[in-house]
Amino acid sequence: MVTTLAVSVAAVVRTVFNTAFNETIPYTPFYPAIVVATMYGRLSGGVIATIMATFAASFWLSPFGQPLIQEPTDLIGLILFIAESGLVVGLCEAMRRSQQTAEAALEEQRRAVTRESAARIEAEEANRLKDQFLASASHELRTPLQAILGWTQLLTQGNVDTKERAMGLEIIARNARVQSRLIEDMLDISRMVAGKMRLTPRSFDPKLIIESAIQTVAIAARSKQIAIVRRYENDGLQLWADPDRLQQIIWNLLSNSIKFSPTSSTVWVSVRSQPRHLEIEVSDEGQGVEAEFFPHLFERFRQEDMGSSRRYDGLGLGLSIVKHLVELHGGTIKASSAGVGQGLSVTMMLPVVDEIIASQSVDRAASPASSSSSARSAH
C-alpha cells in the first residue's frame, strides 16, 4: 500500500512537471518514493518501488507516452537509475535495520534495568523477612526457655509444695515440647532447602493417624471450647504414605485452625475418597485470610501479621512444611477463604497407590522447596 502510494505520487509529480524533468533528470521524483517505500515496506518494498518507477518513468511517463529509451544514453541513464535505486534501497534498509537494532538494544536495556530493580526489591524483601524471622525465632525460643529456667530455679531451691512441684514439672515439660517443636520445624526447613527430607512410606488407614493428631491437639481445643468434627467418607481406603509425616501435616493444620479460631467455634476434618486420590480437608471458623495475602499463604517465613504487636506467635514455617510434605508425597494442596472473619479451608489430595506397586518404590527425596508459610503457620 505504501509502496504503490509513494510511486503513484512520484508519477503524478513527474507528469505535472514533465517539462522541467523530461530530458535532464526524468527519474528524480522517484528517488524519494523509493526511500519511503524501503523505510516502510522494508527491502521488498524498495525493490518493488524501483521496478514500478523504472517501468513508469521509461514507458508511461515519457513525453506524451513516448518511450524514454530512444538512444544509447537513455539506456545508460536507465541502468544508472536502477543501480542508484539499488544503492538507495540498500542504504535505507541498512538504516532501518540499524534503527531496529538500536531500539531492540534500548528495550533490552530497559528490561535489564527492570529485572535488576525487581531483583533488588526481592533481595531487600528477603533480607527483611530474614530479619523478622530471626527476631521471631529469638522470641519464640526465649519464651519457653525462660519458663523452663524459672521453674527449674524454683524447684532446685526446694521452697515449693507438692502441688506447685507437679505444676512446675508440667510447665517445664510443656515448654520443652514447644521448644523441641520449634527446633524441629527449623531443621525441617533446612532439610527442605538442602533437598534431604525423605519419606518412609507404608500402607495404613489414614483415620488412625488423623485421630492421633486430633488427640495431640485435644487439650488446646478444649481450652478454647472448640469442637473438632470428623467426617470420614473413605470407606476403609488404605493410604501409602509416611504416617509420621502425615500426622505432622494434620497436626499443623489443626493447630493453625485452633489458634486462629474464636472460642466456642468448630473445626472440621473431612476425609473423602476420590478416583486414585484421597482428599483430606481441614476447615474452621477462624479469622480467614485477606485476598491480597493469599499468594503468600504457603511462603516460608511469611505471616499476615508481621508487626511487633502481632497477636499470634509462631515462626511462619508450618504451612510451608505442610505444602512441601504434601508435594513430596506426590499430592497437591490448596486453600480457600471467603475473606477476613470467614474461616479458612485447606484441602490436600494424596495419591492412592496400589500397595504391591508402592512396595517396590524407594524413598522419594525432596527437591529444594521454594514454598513458604504464612501467618497461619502453626509455629
Q: What is the pLDDT of residues 217-274, one digit of tens each?
A: 888 899 899 999 999 886 767 888 899 899 889 988 998 889 888 999 999 999 988 8
In whole angstroms, what is the distance from residue 211 CA to residue 296 CA?
Answer: 30
CB 326 within 8 A of CB 332: yes
Residues 87 and 218 in one domain: no
| Domain presence at residue 271 | yes
| Domain presence at residue 377 | no
| Domain presence at residue 376 | no
| Domain presence at residue 114 | no
Q: Report residue 236 as a C-alpha cell.
A: 476403609
Q: Taking the complete model, does pTM exceed 0.75, yes or no?
A: no
| Domain presence at residue 190 | yes
Residues 183 and 210 in one domain: no
Residues 140 and 219 in one domain: no
Residues 228 and 148 in one domain: no
**3-class SS at 289?**
coil
DSSP string, 321-343: HHHHHHHHTT-EEEEE-SSTTS-
Residues of the chain with pLDDT under 70: 3, 7-26, 28, 39-41, 55, 57-81, 84, 129, 132-133, 135-137, 139-140, 234, 236, 301-316, 353-379
In whole angstroms, what is the distance from residue 357 CA to residue 353 CA?
Answer: 7
| Domain presence at residue 42 | yes
Residues 144 and 233 in one domain: no
Q: Output the CA torsion sign for 55, 57, 62, 65.
A: positive
Q: Decide which of 194, 217, 240 is a domain's last residue.
A: 194
In whole angstroms, what is the distance from residue 347 CA to residue 204 CA?
Answer: 20
Structural domains of the chain, count = 3
Give me the pLDDT at residue 30, please: 72
Residues 90 and 210 in one domain: no
Give me the pLDDT at residue 367, please: 46
Residues 6+ apart with CB under 8 A from 95: 39
Residues 206 and 294 in one domain: yes
Give me the pLDDT at residue 379, please: 44
Give me the pLDDT at residue 64, please: 47
Residues 175 and 242 in one domain: no
Q: Decide which of 163, 194, 225 is a domain's last residue.
A: 194
| Structural domain harbouring 31 | 2-100
Burial class (CB in 10 A: 0-12, 13-18, 19+), 358: middle
Residues 210 and 350 in one domain: yes
Residues 153 and 211 in one domain: no
| Domain presence at residue 117 | no
CATH number, position 169: 1.10.287.130
CATH number, position 345: 3.30.565.10
